[in-house]
A and B are shown apart, each in its own frame.
Chain A
């Protein structure tokens, strides 16, 4: 009798714990169903629409996101550099390459909650395409770090994990057919101050 109760309880514990836990885990992960990866960058073109998969829908509801519409733009998030290491706020990075067609783009360094990194200074940890200097071939080189750098400098500050969020506004790539032959800039680690 006691054994039956024990086994029933065990089954229930696995079912409820495992079921709930796996949903929580799936919603935490940055990648997942519906993601499109280009290099180190990941986007969810379907997020926040009626066609989205149940995981995206749950994520939208749980985090209270109001995702960008297709006529507005498309966001890419990077959590690793080209070598596959996690991005750190105490490290310097170089982001270089060409950017796909868009009216303009913005790039910012984000913390765990994808809010902009607090630099504690008037300068935002963000850049936009109207203010960047370009190479002769129209590509852009951006230096990321907490020390001023010549050219394009993205200020970051502090310790811990970091994400880059790159958003293209009013862009043809937001319609999914445009995503097939898009190349995005590379993220290369230049060194760490740790």
Chain B
């Protein structure tokens, strides 16, 4: 009887350890995180629609039904990436995520000059290079310094009602996500 109790107690202690280990390993080993899902859907530097409107099931969950969204994956080890979207919509916001889907920078259209989405994501080292001589066409861009290599860039745009659908769709379709030469 005492051995049974001993075994159960040992089991519960083990359960605690397993609980912690599994919890910490889930983010490392999951194949269902945002990065993996996007990787299945498209290549690096390619804007992909996240909402179901573009056809098929949504790539990434929990997009507000009154929003359209698009995302691209980038790798700063290859160089800095520039994201642009022409046109104007009622509201847009963007977020930069690292490889594990952690949000570390976000801003919305009130932050941008003239509500235009034009931003450059780059590492602190690349920032030093760019600061030395700022190219003419990057003058109005918002610089996001990111101490990461691989990451995800997401644009969300508000669709107030059905009449805005074509406009907002076009806004996202015309958005670009490119390696910027410097």
Contact = CB atoms under 8 A, between A and B. Distances in A.
B66 A106 contact: yes
A106 B18 CA distance: 40
Interface string A116-143: 1000000011101011000000000000
A57 B93 contact: no
Contacts of B106: 68-72
Interface residues of A, number: 59
Contact of A61 (B7, B26, B64, B67): B26
Nearest to A22: B19
B108 A14 contact: no
A60 B33 contact: yes
Interface stretch (B119-127, B132-140, B154-162): B154-162
B27 A170 contact: no
A11 B34 contact: no
Nearest to B161: A131
A66 B152 contact: yes
Contact of A15 (B17, B37, B98): B17
Interface in A154-180: 165, 167, 169-170
Contacts of A126: 64-66
A107 B103 CA distance: 23
Contact of B107 (A26, A64, A71): A71
Interface residues of B, number: 60
Interface string A61-98: 11111111111110100000000000000000000000
Contacts of B58: 115
Contact of B60 (A12, A65, A114): A65
Interface in B1-55: 3-4, 6-8, 10-19, 21-24, 26-27, 30, 32-34, 36-37, 50
Given A50-B104, A69-B106, A169 B93 contact: yes
B105 A115 contact: no
A71 B104 CA distance: 11
Contacts of A70: 103, 106
A72 B69 CA distance: 13
Interface of B: 3-4, 6-8, 10-19, 21-24, 26-27, 30, 32-34, 36-37, 50, 58, 60-62, 64-67, 71, 91, 93-95, 97-98, 100-108, 110-111, 152, 154, 156, 158, 160-161
25 contacts: A10-B4, A10-B8, A16-B15, A22-B15, A27-B26, A49-B102, A50-B102, A54-B23, A57-B26, A57-B27, A61-B30, A61-B32, A63-B62, A64-B33, A64-B101, A65-B60, A65-B61, A66-B97, A68-B93, A69-B93, A70-B103, A71-B93, A71-B108, A72-B156, A126-B66
